[in-house]
Structure 1
Amino acid sequence: MHSYPVTVHYEDTDLGGIVYHANYLKFIERARSDWVRKLGIDQVALRRDGVVFAVHHIEAWFQAPATLDEELTVETAIAEAGSVRMVLDQRVYRGDTCLFRAQVTLVSMTTGGKPRRLSEELRGLSGNT
Structure 2
Amino acid sequence: MTHHFTCRVYYEDTDLAGIVYHANYLKFIERARSEMVREAGISQSALKAEQGIVFAVRRMEMDFIAPARFEDDLRVETCLTGVKGASFDLEQVVWRGDERIYAAQVQVVCLAESGRAVRIPADIRQKLVTFQQ
Instruction: Name structure 2 gaps, 5 residues minimum.
Output: none
Q: Distance in 1 between matches of 2:91 and 2:48?
A: 24
Q: Report the equivalent of 2:37.
A: 36
CA drift at 1:121 = 4.1
CA drift at 1:123 = 3.6
Summarize deviations over 1:60-108 as a string: whole Å, max 9, x none.
0000001000100000001111110111000000011110000000000
Q: Report the equivalent of 1:106.
A: 108
Q: Distance in 1 between matches of 2:34 and 2:58?
A: 16
Q: Distance in 2 between matches of 1:26 and 1:57?
A: 15
Q: Report the equivalent of 2:82.
A: 80
Say if 2:86 and 2:117, in contact at 8 Å, map to a contact too.
yes
Q: Distance in 1 between matches of 2:123 and 2:69?
A: 38
Say if 1:83 and 1:123, in contact at 8 Å, map to a contact too.
no
CA drift at 1:128 = 3.8
Q: Report the equivalent of 2:52.
A: 50
- SS of 1:21's equivalent? coil
Q: Distance in 2 between matches of 1:104 and 1:87?
A: 6
CA drift at 1:122 = 4.5
Say if 2:42 and 2:124, in contact at 8 Å, map to a contact too.
no
Moved over 3 A (4+): 121-124, 126-129
| TM-score, scaled relative to structure 1 | 0.94
Q: Which amino acid aligns with 2:7?
A: V
| TM-score, scaled relative to structure 2 | 0.91
Q: Report the equivalent of 2:70.
A: 68
With over 3 angstroms needed to count, the CA separation of the structure-2 counterparts of 1:62 and 1:2, relative to structure 1, is same
Q: Distance in 1 between matches of 2:25 and 2:99?
A: 15
Q: Report the equivalent of 1:21.
A: 22
RMSD: 1.4
Instruction: Name structure 1 gaps, 5 residues minimum.
Output: none
Between the two proteins, the alignment pairs up a number of residues equal to 129
